[in-house]
């Protein structure tokens, strides 16, 4: 009888988590924007982007969001925490874009097809995002 009650309780818990969205997405599948009019969001929590890569159509922007209470991030185009703009990327400004705790920044449009990189100068070993622009 105890086994049946335990199984029933576990099934109820699983059903509740699925219905309420209580699971955490740990997928490393790249995010893809549906249309050029959509603005995908990349979240930054701790010292990592929530996805390692993102695919967007040409003309799209990307919104970068730092978690409330999270540490600030300084975004540049390049790898290894160094700004070395790849030809065709939007302007991240001189010295990059700092996104503070609970804040966001939306990039200018990505107008050139190709593969590019965004990195955080404060967390260069753990925060590198690959951006693939299609079209």
| Reduced 3-state DSSP string for 7-57 | HHHHHHHHHHHHHHCCCCCCCCCCEECCCCCCCCEEEEECCEECCCEEEEE
Which of 118, 120, 121 is CA-nearest to residue 78?
A: 118
**Highest-pLDDT range among 4-18, 49-63, 85-99:** 49-63
Q: What is the mean pLDDT of residues 80-93?
A: 82
Better pLDDT: 32 or 83: 83
Does the domain at residues 26-134 carry the CATH identifier 2.60.40.420?
Answer: yes
pLDDT in tens, 30-54: 444 333 457 899 999 999 999 999 9
pTM of the model: 0.71
pLDDT of residue 78: 85
pLDDT of residue 82: 76
25 near 66, Cβ under 8 Å?
Answer: no
Q: What is the mean pLDDT of residues 13-19?
A: 35
């Amino acid at each position: 009888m105890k086994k049946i009650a335990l199984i029933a309780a576990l099934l109820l818990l699983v059903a509740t988590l699925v219905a309420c969205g209580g699971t955490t997405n740990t997928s490393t599948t790249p995010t893809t924007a549906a249309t050029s009019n959509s603005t995908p969001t990349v979240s930054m929590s701790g010292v990592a982007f929530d996805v390692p890569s993102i695919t967007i159509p040409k003309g799209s922007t990307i919104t970068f969001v730092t978690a409330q209470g999270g540490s600030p991030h300084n975004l540049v185009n390049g790898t290894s925490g160094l700004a070395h703009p790849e030809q065709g990327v939007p302007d991240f400004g001189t010295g990059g874009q700092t996104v503070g705790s609970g804040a966001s920044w939306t990039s200018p449009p990505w107008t050139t097809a190709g593969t590019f990189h965004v990195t955080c100068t404060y967390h260069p070993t753990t925060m590198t995002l690959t951006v693939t622009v299609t079209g």
